[in-house]
Amino acid sequence: MRADAVVVAAGVSRRMAGVDKLMAPIGDRPLLAWTLEALAAAPEVERIVLVVASDAIGAIRAAPWLPAKVDAVVAGGERRQDSVAAGLAWLDASAPASIDGGAGSRAGRDERVVLVHDGGRPAVTPALVSAIARAAAEHGAAIPVVPIVETVKRLEGGWIAATLDRSELRAAQTPQGVRAGLLREALARHPADGPEAWTDEAALLEACRIPVHAVEGEPTNLKVTTPDDLGRAELALLGRRPTRIGYGDDSHPFGPGGPLALGGISIAGAPRLHGHSDGDVALHAVADALLGAGGLGDLGRAFPAGPATPRGIASRELVADSVRRLAAVGLRPVQLDLTIVAARPRLGDSLDAMRTAIAELVGLPTDRINVKASTGNLAGAEGAGRGISARAVALVEPIG
Ligand code: MG
């Protein structure tokens, strides 16, 4: 038997804080590449149509990671069903190289299985793709389902109205497979541009009373919708949580007034560092390293010295915000190493307090934070006591 696959990847990643989840790197290639490879590795799949946002078509057609089985990259629509319809239209217009049941015959076309798969499910196995293709060929339509582990409640106005019998409930995954003839029949009754919104293909088939066979899905076949899911997908595909490092470096001259803000604490009797913020050069290096590890640019770009960043802003806020920006792309700090270079004041007695303050700021135990100080060995502005500099290295990992 032969199957065609429509991969829907046109949705905007609304829950991913503006990051295109399908292009998020997992190992050495984007998430979408993993999805396509898994489908292409199923021997039943002959052609893949990839449906993407219209402004992404050019870049994706030129992508080096596109498997050979991807025959077309076409523009999708606002809703999932619009994108599925766009993929089907391409398949209908393009005669496959070989058709079971006779070259180009209507019967042959109708018997062919169409698999619809979410672009954001990269950890599907080729074995599940094959199982769905074969089950759809045999039964007309088939989808993968998994048991629901949590107890499921029905709500009414914010209150629990009932507990549902979860032994009868399943969560639906993709790929969802259906013989092309049945799908065409369903779409003739409920055109894709009609008022109904289907959250999956099975819902459309159910509305047409077309029986859908349930196949055991895979717990690892998760749909990546939130930043945390990216970490889970990495774990499923790579078997590990890849870490990333960042480096931060900053220096500030001493200015008028005091006390000195350094490493998240206040040191009385020492002059303050000059700067748009409170001048905490150590926290600037930390924030810079965190942003660097997340591929989020640098502190100057994240918090430009202007009206958007209040004068005298506590650098603790810059670090806290950097941690939030990391979380928005699915990452969290793992470890920090910080070196402060200052001839004055003497910092030896303050390092433990800095360590505690920074640990609290980034949400890590103190043993993951290291703070060192050097006098600058009489070299440079720091050694001469005209300012303080700091360098930090940050290790981050996927959340989830
Ligand atoms: Mg600075």
Give tens-digit pLDDT for 212-234: 999 999 999 999 988 788 888 98
Q: What is the DSSP letter of 271?
A: P
d(CA 244, ligand 1 centre) in Å? 23
Question: Is residue 286 predicted with pLDDT exceeding 70?
Answer: yes
Q: How far is CA 114 from the centre of its chain?
A: 27
Average pLDDT over residues 348-377: 95
User: Of 376 and 190, which is predicted with more confidence?
Assistant: 190
- Which residues, chain by chain, have CB under 5 Å from ion ligand 1? 250, 284
Contacts of 19 (CB under 8 A, 6+ apart): 13, 227, 328, 329
pLDDT in tens, 180-207: 999 999 999 998 888 888 889 999 999 9
d(CA 79, ligand 1 centre) in Å? 46
pLDDT at 302: 86
d(CA 176, ligand 1 centre) in Å? 53
Average pLDDT over residues 325-354: 94
d(CA 300, ligand 1 centre) in Å? 8
- Residues of the chain with pLDDT > 90: what percent? 68
Q: Which residue, 279, 201, 247, is CA-closest to 396?
A: 247
pLDDT at 115: 98
Question: Is residue 103 predicted with pLDDT exceeding 50?
Answer: no
Question: Is residue 138 predicted with pLDDT exceeding 80?
Answer: yes
d(CA 385, CA 36): 58
Q: Which of 5-14, 113-122, 140-149 has the lowest mean pLDDT?
A: 5-14
- Ordered structural domains, the chain, with CATH: 3-238 (3.90.550.10), 244-398 (3.30.1330.50)
Question: Is residue 160 predicted with pLDDT exceeding 90?
Answer: yes
- Maximum Cα–Cα distance across the chain: 90
Average pLDDT over residues 94-116: 71
d(CA 230, CA 234): 6
pLDDT in tens, 18-45: 457 888 889 889 999 999 999 999 999 9
pLDDT at 101: 46
Average pLDDT over residues 61-67: 95
Give me the amino acid identity at 221.
N
Question: Is residue 1 predicted with pLDDT exceeding 50?
Answer: yes
d(CA 315, ligand 1 centre) in Å? 9
Question: Is residue 106 predicted with pLDDT exceeding 80?
Answer: no
